[in-house]
Structure 1
Amino acid sequence: MKIIQSSKSETLQNSAVTIGTFDGVHIGHQKIIKRLIDTAKKEGLESVVLTFFPHPRMVLQNDADIKLINTIKERQDILDELGLDCLFLKQFTKDFSRWSAEDFVQKLLVNQLNAKKVIIGYDHHFGRNRSANIDDLKAFGEQYNFEVEEISAQDVNDVSVSSTKIRKALLEGDIANANSYLGYNFMLNGIVVKGKGLGKNIGYPTANLYIEEAYKLIPKQGVYIVQSTISNKRVYGMMNIGQNPTVNNSQSQNIEIHFFDFNRSIYNLELKIELLVRIRDEKKFDSIETLSQQLEQDKITSLAYIKNLDGK
């Protein structure tokens, strides 16, 4: 899959385009993107997702609190796996937000993407103050020689409902439901950094995950069963999101993974951690001994779950 930054002058040959944030690239999004890819193949066009980054709210409302299901890199990887030809990343700026609807169509869809087909939701709005709608886009299509294919109200509703449900499920720690809406395991990508070694001291060494992107949604604090791939080998573990109240009581949130049957240094390694299920809340224990007993029970619970998973 090609990734084109809008700041580059690169243009495409005849393309089929859909437009949106596609945060999560969940099963509703996948339905639209597969339709785009199939249409592009049938009509000899290049399949293109036009998306915007940073999120418009980050720019227009200076909303640092907005949390997204995917980082932009995660979104790229998922779209690539779906078989998309090209991801076109338009940098969202205040200047761009002031473009007229015709500027948007002419500069982006026509001049840079060479759009011959645009697959878009019935309720899509674009241009300055989002003043233009799908009827305006169809009129521009007649003027600039591209066809507009409308996504139905039902499909658009499925997409918006799914995104809301996924965020809600993640914030409640309901990973099973979130994963069912996503169509894949929710993931956290980050770099393994040195911690305080507290886990190692009680027999449960952990990899401390640092996530650079502050806008990445982090699920509810607690203990999760997870999997990752390290050196082309799948490894399982249990992960804690929280403040380590028994041994550390940090004011900042930490993400720590204890991998089972794994004993090697992975500092500075970039890991993708896939969350499978949440098994309990984080809590403060009366003693290190009580914490160790709970961790042993967490491990038993995790290994039983993993055994059942591998046995399917």
Structure 2
Amino acid sequence: MQILRDKPSGFGPSVVTIGTFDGVHTGHKRIIEKVVALAHEREAVSVVLTFDPLPRQVHHPDPKNKLICSLPDRLTRIEQLGVDTTWVQHYDLDFAAQSPTEFVRDYLVAPLHPLVVVIGEDMHFGAKNSGDAQTLRELGKQYGFTVVTVSNIVDPIFGRRWSSSWVRELLAQGRVDQAAYVLGRAHSVRGTVIHGKRRGRKLGFPTANLDAEFVEAIPADGVYAGWLRMPYPPHSENPTSLEVVPAAISVGTSPHFGDVGRTVEAHVLGRADLDLYGEEVVVEFVHRIRDNLAFHSLDALLERMDRDLLETAVVLGVPKSQRIDPGAVTA
């Protein structure tokens, strides 16, 4: 897939869609797959026009306003749907101030020469979101493109429209199973492994720690079963593959020890040899096991963590694992 960062020229003809596509959930996929299919029919280039940073981050700046997935992951997931070109347009307040006509003229018609523009039925664009699907149809008649509207997906079980907002709400509640249902895959976060307090390795639970401040939307505090995806071999300039290993994942502040500052800590079942400091890894959340708790004693904490390992193995369908001998930890 071609990735554009600057406005193209001499491009097209194309079939285009426009949106933030945060998380690239199942509703997004339906729109993008329609773009790809129409582009094949018209012998045109399929194009996704997306934005970085996302508009809500510009209009409502807040350190807690996290993405569902990083821009690199968003691009990867768009590419997997067969798109020819993704244009990542820088979004700022000046860009947001354009009228609907200015946006269509300067960012669709002139650079992309669209034959068809595919949108979701609730799409808005232009200054103060003043443009909608009807606005776009009228501009299409003026500039020579047609508009195809893809209906929203309303889930038959939960009665909710599939949206990025719903995914963020589910993650904030720790409901990663249902978030995966909407996303069409397990939710994951990407980050660099940092040095922690090394408390876990002394207790037989060595972990790969990510600083929650610098990664995407993290589920609610708690313990989860999931997977750790890491480069193999680690610390190689040219890793040959990704190794995927089962992990018990803790999100939060370690209330038993009175810690502050949220972290994501992934304990790989049965492994004492992983040296991942400085490596970029992906932590994937499959199922929430329990809340984070403060225990009346260290023995009670360790007993509960042993149960966490067993429950994680059952959820993931992997061999059961026990606490590691601290003397066997080599990393």
User: Would the TM-score normalized by the shorter structure come out above 0.5?
Assistant: yes
- Aligned counterpart, 1:269: 279
Paired residue for 1:169? Answer: 170
- Do 2:176 and 2:286's aligned partners in 1 also have CA atoms closer than 8 Å? yes
The amino acid that maps onto 1:174 is R
Shift of 1:228: 2.4
How many Å apart are 1:284 and its aligned residue? 0.9
2:219 corresponds in structure 1 to 219
Q: Which residue in 2 is equivalent to 1:195?
A: 196
**1:11 CA drift (Å):** 5.4
Partner of residue 38, structure 2: 39
Q: What is the alpha-carbon distance in structure 2 between the residues aligned to residue 224 and residue 81 of structure 1?
A: 27
- With over 3 angstroms needed to count, the CA separation of the structure-2 counterparts of 1:233 and 1:49, relative to structure 1, is same
Aligned equivalent of 1:20: 19
Aligned partner of residue 21 in structure 2, secondary structure: coil
* 1:2 and 2:12 are equivalent in the alignment: no
Report the counterpart of residue 98 of structure 1 in structure 2. 97
| Matches of 1:280 and 1:251, distance apart in 2 | 19
Spell out, residue by residue over 1:97-116, the C-alpha distance to the aligned partner (whole angstroms, 9 max, x if none): 11122211111101222212
Residue 317 of structure 2: SS of its match in structure 1? helix
Given the alignment of the two structures, is residue 253 of structure 1 paired with residue 262 of structure 2, yes or no? yes
Check 1:39–1:156 CA distance in 2 against 1; reply closer, same or farther (3 A cut).
Answer: farther
State the distance in 1 between where 2:212 and 2:189 align. 8
Residue in 2 that maps onto 1:70: 69
Quote how far apart the aligned CAs of 1:122 are.
Answer: 3.4
Deviation of 1:155 (Å): 4.1
2:251 paired residue number:
241
Figure out how many residues of one structure are paired with residues of the other and give that number: 306
Correspondence 1:288 to 2:298: yes
Provide TM-score, normalisation by structure 1. Answer: 0.90
Structure 1 residues 20 and 207 mapped into 2: Cα distance closer, same or farther (>3 Å)? same
3-state DSSP of counterpart to 2:282 = strand
State the partner residue of 1:58.
57
**TM-aligned CA deviation for residue 288 of structure 1:** 2.1
Q: Which amino acid aligns with 1:207?
A: A
* Range that drifts further, 134-143 or 197-206: 134-143
CA contact (8 A) 1:58 1:64 kept: no
Q: CA deviation at 1:127?
A: 1.9
Q: Tell me how far apart the structure 2 counterparts of residues 97 and 162 of structure 1 sit (CA, whole Å).
A: 22
Identity level (%)? 33
2:78 is matched with 79
Q: 1:287 deviation in Å?
A: 2.3
Contact 2:31/2:120 (CA < 8 Å) preserved in 1? no
Cα deviation 1:32-51 (Å, max 9, x = unaligned): 11111111111111111111
Structure 2 length-normalised TM = 0.85
Asked if 1:229 corresponds to 2:229, the answer is: yes
CA shift in 2, pair 1:13/1:212, >3 Å? farther
Q: CA RMSD in A?
A: 2.3
Q: Which residue of 2 aligns with 1:119?
A: 118
Report the alpha carbon displacement of residue 222 of structure 1 after superposing the two structures with TM. Answer: 0.5
- Alpha-carbon spacing, 1:13–1:159, altered in 2? closer, same or farther (3 Å): farther
Deviates more, 1:169-178 or 1:185-194: 169-178
Matches of 1:39 and 1:199, distance apart in 2: 53
Tell whether the 8 Å contact from 2:27 to 2:162 is kept in structure 1 after alignment.
Answer: no
C-alpha distance after superposition, 1:117-173 (max 9, x if no partner)? 101133433222222332332222222221211223x44899944434322221111
Offset at 1:73?
1.9
Give deviations 1:259-295, integer Å, cap 9, x for gaps.
Answer: 0132221111111111111101111112222211111
Counterpart contact for 2:212–2:218, Cα < 8 Å: no
The one-letter code matched in structure 2 to 1:173 is: G
Distance of 2:78 and 2:87 partners within structure 1: 11
Distance in 2 between residues matched to 1:217 and 1:138, nearest whole Å: 35
Give the conservation status (yes or no) of the 8 Å contact 1:4–1:10.
no
| Alpha carbons 2:31, 2:119 under 8 Å: kept | no
CA contact (8 A) 1:121 1:156 kept: no
Report the secondary structure of 1:102's partner residue: helix
C-alpha change, 1:113 and 1:185, in structure 2 (3 Å) is same
